[in-house]
A and B are shown apart, each in its own frame.
Chain A
Amino acid sequence: QSVLTQPPSVSGAPGQRVTISCTGSNSNFGAGYDVHWYLQLPGTAPKLLIYDNNNRPSGVPDRFSGSKSGTSASLAITGLQAEDEADYYCQSYDSSLRWVFGGGTKLTVL
């Protein structure tokens, strides 16, 4: 049971918009800690996708965006492409458990 809760899977057709939720609590998001998102392609190391709630590292397309409100966060992907098919993880800091991840969400492009 992860401290941050994500849906196990989401799907969408090419060109569509999908969102992935990440639900926390008062000891992480509610305490003001930022959320970060990572993308993991099969057989590879995770890669930073969104940091500090809504910032994209250099090279990440603006099709990816993040938001956080209260004890929840979400990642949105617009203009879905086949290469977006991957596992997505949210991550933050928890005042009790320290560094925590969501359980991961598998995105399938139909």
Chain B
Amino acid sequence: EVQLVESGGGLVQPGGSLRLSCSASGFIFSSYALHWVRQAPGKGLEYVSAISTDGGSTYYADSVKERFTISRDNSKNTLYLQMNSLRPEDTAVYYCVKEEDSNPRWDDAYDIWGQGTRVTVSS
């Protein structure tokens, strides 16, 4: 079964840091670009960050640029999101998502979503 399982969420004070992890199984991890998508309480979906198959290309939403770092370890089938200088507006459920097509394209769909991990930034 193709699966993504996030971990690492929790309660953190403003200005603090967290590292999210996403463990993958059931597909050739190194063949697919991966993204982080978040959803604030009662709000819609928001792209956060993306990474290419080999980790050589990374992309960030303006709202998290220079605070968040995406990375992957293809030997461990794991995706990461290092989040620094956290703000209350970063409070959300963070989803790890897989692109549908192994052939790189900008407008690919997200065919597999993790269950999400909740991040709460509050004093």
Contact = CB atoms under 8 A, between A and B. Distances in A.
Interface of A: 2, 33-34, 36, 38, 45-48, 51-52, 57, 89, 91-93, 98-104
Contacts of B47: 98-101
Interface string B83-123: 00000000000010000100000110111011110000000
Given A98-B59, A99-B47, A104-B45, A57 B113 contact: no
B107 A33 contact: yes
Contacts of A51: 100, 109, 111
Nearest to B95: A45
5 contacts: A36-B110, A38-B110, A46-B95, A47-B113, A101-B47
B107 A45 contact: no
B56 interface: no
B28 to A, nearest CB: 19
Contacts of B24: none
B44 A104 contact: yes
Given A99-B50, A101-B47, A103-B44, A48 B59 contact: no
A34 B106 CA distance: 9
Given A45-B116, A46-B113, A47-B113, A2 B107 contact: no
A101 B107 contact: no
The listed residue with most A CB atoms (<10 A of its CB), out of B35, B44, B95, B113, is: B44
A38 B45 CA distance: 10
A2 B47 CA distance: 11
Query: Which 7 A-B pairs have CB atoms at the shortest separation, nearest pair first?
Result: A51-B109, A93-B107, A99-B47, A33-B107, A36-B109, A104-B44, A45-B113
B54 interface: no
Nearest to B4: A45
A89 B100 contact: no
A7 to B, nearest CB: 13
Given A46-B45, A98-B61, 13 more contacts: A2-B44, A33-B107, A46-B95, A46-B113, A48-B111, A48-B113, A51-B100, A51-B109, A52-B109, A93-B106, A99-B47, A101-B44, A101-B45
